[in-house]
């Protein structure tokens, strides 16, 4: 059902190029930043893209059934900072973003059906201190299932 769209068309303005790259230019990829925050808060035992979890979340704690997706604001259409839509190739981007959104919600649904607690952390949340971390920590305090390695 998922149709391949191919690579995105080249950015037509510096603003689009900047949103496409996200924070990469500053060498603070949001996922790396969140991992660092989790480690320094004392929760190092995560798996990355763990195959046994539905949708292979970016970060997961299998013993506690906690999954975290770290979403780039541009690609996943952040509801908080509402990145602007590229002005050209509009049809491509509409389809691309619709497919991303569909895939995102399918993964969350699959995980929740399997009893996981799912967090979505947005890139822009991570540029603003540890707000995202504060949302996740209460769940991490739940006792872990000793049967899961
Ligand atoms: Zn955002």
The answer to the question of residue 13 being in a domain is no
- What does the pLDDT read at residue 3? 57
CA distance 6 to 113: 31
Residue 9 lies in a domain: no
- Residue 74 in any domain: the answer is yes
Does residue 7 sit within a domain? no
Segment holding 119, helix H or strand E: strand 117-122
**Which residue range is the domain that position 60 belongs to?**
25-140
Question: What parts of the chain have a pLDDT lower than 70?
Answer: 1-4, 14-16, 18-28, 128, 149
In a domain, 45, yes or no: yes
Taking CA 131 as the corner, what is the angle to CA 127 and CA 132, rounded to the nearest 5 degrees?
85
Please give the pLDDT value at position 114.
Answer: 97
DSSP class of residue 137? Answer: H
With respect to residue 8, please indicate whether it lies within any of the assigned structural domains: no
Distance CA 14, CA 86 (A): 11
Alpha helices in 1-149 (DSSP H): 14-21, 30-40, 73-76, 90-113, 123-126, 131-140
Residues at Cβ < 5 Å from ligand 1 ion: 73, 78, 80-81, 122, 124
Instruction: Let me know if residue 19 belongs to a domain.
Output: no
Domain count, the chain: 1
For residue 71, the CA-to-ligand 1 centroid distance in Å is 8
pLDDT of amino acid 11: 75
d(CA 102, CA 106): 6
pLDDT in tens, 120-148: 999 999 886 788 999 999 999 977 777 77
| pLDDT score, position 25 | 38
> What does the pLDDT read at residue 22?
56
Query: Per the confidence metrics, is the pTM higher than 0.95?
Result: no
In this prediction, residue 142 carries a pLDDT of: 79
- The CA 143 to ligand 1 mean position distance, Å, reads 31
**For position 99, which CATH number holds?**
3.40.960.10
Distance 114 CA to ligand 1 centre (A): 28
Residue 6 has what pLDDT?
A: 76
What does the pLDDT read at residue 4? 67
């Amino acid at each position: 059902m998922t149709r391949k769209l191919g690579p995105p068309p080249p950015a037509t303005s510096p603003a689009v190029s900047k949103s496409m790259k996200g924070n990469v230019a500053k060498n603070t990829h949001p996922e790396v930043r969140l991992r660092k925050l989790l480690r320094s808060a004392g929760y190092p035992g995560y798996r990355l893209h763990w195959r046994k979890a539905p949708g292979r979340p970016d970060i997961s704690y299998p013993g506690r059934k906690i999954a975290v997706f770290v979403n780039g604001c541009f690609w996943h259409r952040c509801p908080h900072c509402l990145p602007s839509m590229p002005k050209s190739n509009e049809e491509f981007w509409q389809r691309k973003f619709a497919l991303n959104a569909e895939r995102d919600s399918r993964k969350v649904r699959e995980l929740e059906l399997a009893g996981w607690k799912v967090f979505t952390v947005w890139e822009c949340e991570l540029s603003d201190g540890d707000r995202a971390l504060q949302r996740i920590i209460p769940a991490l305090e739940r006792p872990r299932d000793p049967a899961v390695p």
